[in-house]
Amino acid sequence: MSTTKPWLSIRPRQFPLSFRVDRRVPLVLASLVVIALLSLVFNVSQGEYPVPPLEVVKTILGFSASPDYAFVVNTLRLPRALVALLVGMGLATAGTILQGITRNPLAAPEIIGINSGASLVAVALIVLFPQVAVGWLPIAAFLGGLGAAIAIYLLAWNGGSSPIRLILVGIGLTSLTGAFTSLMITFGNIYNVSQALVWLTGSVYGRSWEHLWPLLPWLGVFLPLTLVLARDLDTLNLGDNLAQGLGSRVEGTRSLLLLCTVALAGASVATAGNVGFVGLMAPHLARQMVGPAHIGLVPVAALTGACIVELADLVGRLAFAPIELPCGVITAVIGTPYFLWLLCRDGRRPAS
Partner 1 sequence: MVRSQPLAFSKSPISLTLGLCLGGGLLLACLLGSVLLGAADIAPGTVWQAIFQFDGSTEHLIIRTVRLPRAILAVVVGAALAVAGAITQGLTRNPLAAPDILGINVGAALAMVLAVFLRGSGGSYVGFAFGGAAIAAITVYWLGSMGRSGLTPLKLVIAGAALSYLLSSLTTGILILSQRTLDEIRFWLAGSLAGQDIAAIMPILPYIAVGLVGSLALGRQLTLMGLGEDVAQGLGLNTGWVKVAAAIMVVLLAGSAVALAGPIGFVGLVVPHVVRFAVGVDYRWILPYSMIAGGILLSVADTVARLVIRPQELPVGIMTALVGAPFFIYLARSKIKR
How far apart are the C-alpha atoms of 318 and 86, rounded to whole Å?
21
At closest approach, how far in Å is the CB of 277 from partner 1? 8
Coil/strand/helix, residue 235? helix
Contact 282, 96 (CB under 8 A): yes
| Nearest residue (CB) to partner 1, 1 versus 344 | 344
At closest approach, how far in Å is the CB of 174 from partner 1? 8
| Nearest residue (CB) to partner 1, 53 versus 172 | 172
Burial letters 77-101, b for 16+ CB under 10 A, else e:
bbbbbbbbbbbbbbbbbbbbbbbbb
| Site stretch for partner 1 (CB under 8 A), options 32-40, 255-263, 282-290, 324-332 | 324-332
128 binds partner 1 (CB under 8 A): no
Site for partner 1 (CB under 8 A): which residue of 88, 99, 332, 352?
Answer: 332
DSSP state of 325: P
| Nearest residue (CB) to partner 1, 134 versus 176 | 176
Contact 173, 116 (CB under 8 A): yes
Q: What is the full DSSP assignment across 27-80?
A: HHHHHHHHHHHHHHHHHHH-SSS---HHHHHHHHHT----HHHHIIIIIIIHHH
At closest approach, how far in Å is the CB of 184 from partner 1? 10
325 binds partner 1 (CB under 8 A): yes
| Nearest residue (CB) to partner 1, 39 versus 177 | 177
| Nearest residue (CB) to partner 1, 19 versus 180 | 180
144 binds partner 1 (CB under 8 A): no
336 binds partner 1 (CB under 8 A): yes
The contact pattern for partner 1, residues 63-102, with x = CB under 8 A and - = no contact, is: ----------------------------------------
How many residues touch partner 1 under the rule CB under 8 A: the total is 41
- Alpha helices in the chain, H assignment, sequence order: 25-45, 53-61, 67-70, 78-102, 114-128, 137-152, 163-187, 190-200, 209-228, 230-236, 240-245, 250-272, 278-290, 294-319, 327-345
At closest approach, how far in Å is the CB of 265 from partner 1? 17
Nearest Cα residue to 236 out of 29, 96, 119, 62: 96
Site for partner 1 (CB under 8 A): which residue of 337, 349, 350, 352?
Answer: 337
- Please give the C-alpha separations between residue 51 and each of 40, 55, 66, 72, in angstroms, as whole numbers: 13, 7, 11, 8
Burial (0-12, 13-18, 19+ Cβ within 10 Å), 201: middle
- Contact set for partner 1, span 217-256 (CB under 8 A): none
CA torsion through residues 205, 206, 212, 214, sign: negative
322 binds partner 1 (CB under 8 A): no
The contact pattern for partner 1, residues 252-281, with x = CB under 8 A and - = no contact, is: ------------------------x-----
How far apart are the C-alpha atoms of 136 and 128, rounded to whole Å?
13
Q: Which amino acid type is present at position 310? A: E
Distance of CA 13 to the CA centre of its chain: 34
At closest approach, how far in Å is the CB of 183 from partner 1? 6
326 binds partner 1 (CB under 8 A): yes
- Contact set for partner 1, span 145-204 (CB under 8 A): 155-156, 162, 164-165, 167-169, 171-173, 175-176, 178-180, 182-183, 186-187, 201
Applying CB under 8 A, the residues found at the interface with partner 1 are 106, 155-156, 162, 164-165, 167-169, 171-173, 175-176, 178-180, 182-183, 186-187, 201, 276, 320, 323-326, 328-329, 332-333, 336-337, 339-340, 343-346, 348
